[in-house]
Structure 1
């Protein structure tokens, strides 16, 4: 770690300097496993800087940027390891530090693939309508993605959907041919991607492609920081004689900085099925909302699923007691808990009552469904649930998905 600090002080790496600063401030604990990843990312940071200088050294460099011989190739990085080891935090630091200002993109991998499928569908529709010439839709989409960003950073890279598996090879082959640099985090090694999936033999060339174009590094850290941050933390705070809501708000502020980082995160916007979900605070793979922001607005299952896939921990503040007149909010809360539970989201909430007495409605389906919500809320407090990996429901964990796409 001393070597990293020395190179940062010498101006060698913005990423390393920021990491060392956060460690000095006590926001990050010294961790040799993380230090190894910082070193790998710092080296990639330097290779990207060298590429940018090479492209700018010639007045014609940008004009002929697509010619393979004029683009210095840079291998990306595939970081894998157990949950809670700091992979997301490190890639966030890299993304903020790397000397690429415009043509870069940071995305949850699942959301990126939703975007890719939507683009392919639009290209096919435009071809049928005669708006564009016939061609390979995947190649056209890859070219468009390259024009927008030549540095792609993915979080939670995993493949469970056959629709994704069948196009990834062709898509990434084009992206790599354009010189796109990819940095990805994953809970599994490349060899274990789409393990047990339908027609997996057809997917194996893609794994070889990853290993050719990306350095594969495992983060070897004995500490599950996600568990450490949530260990001993109450997950359901109830206002009452023992603790006022103002005191709970103070506790929630402390928990939030513990989870999201000392800076408290920043606002974010998440695209979801043609709409934008505003996230008031996001940081460290976590998000923070009020109940009204999540359930007092017309959001649906797809929106809650989008959030569940994007954040491993979500704080919800000021959950009110609900009656029959607020059945719509109760319905949304039931749906929200269902989606969070299925994806292993860690929930920390402040409320006016315990789950059993939070909803008093007696009519409609939600009156019967509330019992399931109560059960899940109690389970979500357990240490076993807190230790559960984020992002994989039972069907995804088995690789038993059946989505199809034309290829």
Structure 2
């Protein structure tokens, strides 16, 4: 019998949340040398050069803040703004570069998604979070995004205190830092916080098509529900859940637990995928899609094609980029599940 994700209710301690703040398995072996810039997109080579330069400084031992260390000529921390911000579309290698910077740097260092960072602060509390994270030399934040005013104020306060503590930052996003929050809430009301966040970063644009879909069909043909159930019943460590049951179950779990929900799962089957119209349901599935992609878990999908999972209205709204990222990642996982090359 396949695993039922809907029967799992994992508990995740703050210590586990901190210990898991490393690049996901999909990016555990990437390095600057494995990044292949598109020759027709010069911004990719330019971003690689900037990240390599920052990585060369962070690869050196951290400079002690003392007169003796300055007299001794220790290599300084990176000059200029404390943060690098990689802005660009889906599948242009931003996460590859971010993880490569983390691998290149000496510790202590931390790697997380924006959602994982906000979840961590929620689990620890602001003051303990600042105390814990101030010890890091570098914090890499993937998929930086502001979804609501609460996140805006929280992250503005957190990063401001970390920068004051001397922490270096690096982030990826699909939105320029001074445009965060647009179309999602009244960003103009939080302009000071957004501008304060933007001031911490040197933004670098990376252009290009999504490498996962270059020359490939938009989405693989869905499997029949019967086929999904049959294959997952035969695969060791596979799960199988009905789409509606799964998203209802996700509503009962904090998003910080979605990763633990997948512990020991080797493949995920979902039957009867339907077009979504509820924003709350859709955003939870975006987080689940990210955790699946982080862990490189193949997907066996029945129902509507994955590129039709989010309604046309959703793909025109404020969360459009999040939904498109999720579709991109789910299609890549579904092609793995179907045994097709990506």
Q: TM-score range by the shorter chain?
A: 0.5 to 0.7
On the 8 A contact 2:144/2:171 being kept in 1, the answer is yes
Equivalent residues in 2 for 1:244-393, closer than 5 Å: 290-291=238-239, 300-301=250-251, 303=253, 305=255, 307=258, 316-317=267-268, 343=286, 345=289, 349-350=299-300, 355=302, 377-382=303-308, 391-392=322-323
Instruction: Mark the runs of 5 or more structure 2 residues left unpaired by the alignment.
Output: 1-29, 274-280, 293-297, 325-342
Calculate the TM-score normalised by the size of structure 1: 0.50
Does 2:101 correspond to 1:94?
yes
Aligned partner (choices 219, 235, 249) of residue 206 of structure 2: 219
Q: Could you say which residue in structure 2 is the equivalent of 1:106?
A: 111
Cα deviation code 1:313-355 (max 9, x no counterpart): x99456699xxxxxxxx9xxxxxxx55785394996437xxx4
On the 8 A contact 2:58/2:78 being kept in 1, the answer is no
Task: Specify the SS of the correspondent of 2:134.
Answer: helix
**How many residue pairs get matched?**
263
Deviation at 1:45, TM superposition (A): 0.9
Aligned partner (choices 18, 35, 54) of residue 44 of structure 1: 54
Task: Specify the SS of the correspondent of 1:54.
Answer: coil
Aligned partner (choices 197, 211, 220) of residue 234 of structure 1: 220
Task: Specify the SS of the correspondent of 2:145.
Answer: coil
Between the aligned partners of 2:221 and 2:193, the Cα distance in structure 1 is 41
Between the aligned partners of 1:191 and 1:181, the Cα distance in structure 2 is 19
Aligned partner (choices 133, 139, 164) of residue 151 of structure 2: 164
Cα deviation code 1:117-150 (max 9, x no counterpart): 3322xxxxxxxxxxxxxxxxx4553233212x23
Report 1 or 2 for greater relative contact order, CA contacts < 8 Å, sequence distance ≥ 6.
2
Q: Could you say which residue in structure 1 is the equivalent of 2:132?
A: 144
Task: Specify the SS of the correspondent of 2:56.
Answer: helix
Cα deviation code 1:376-397 (max 9, x no counterpart): x31425498899656359xxxx
Equivalent residues in 2 for 1:18-57, closer than 5 Å: 18-21=31-34, 23=36, 30=39, 31-49=41-59, 52=61, 54-55=63-64
Residues 1:47 and 1:161: Cα distance change in structure 2 (over 3 Å): same
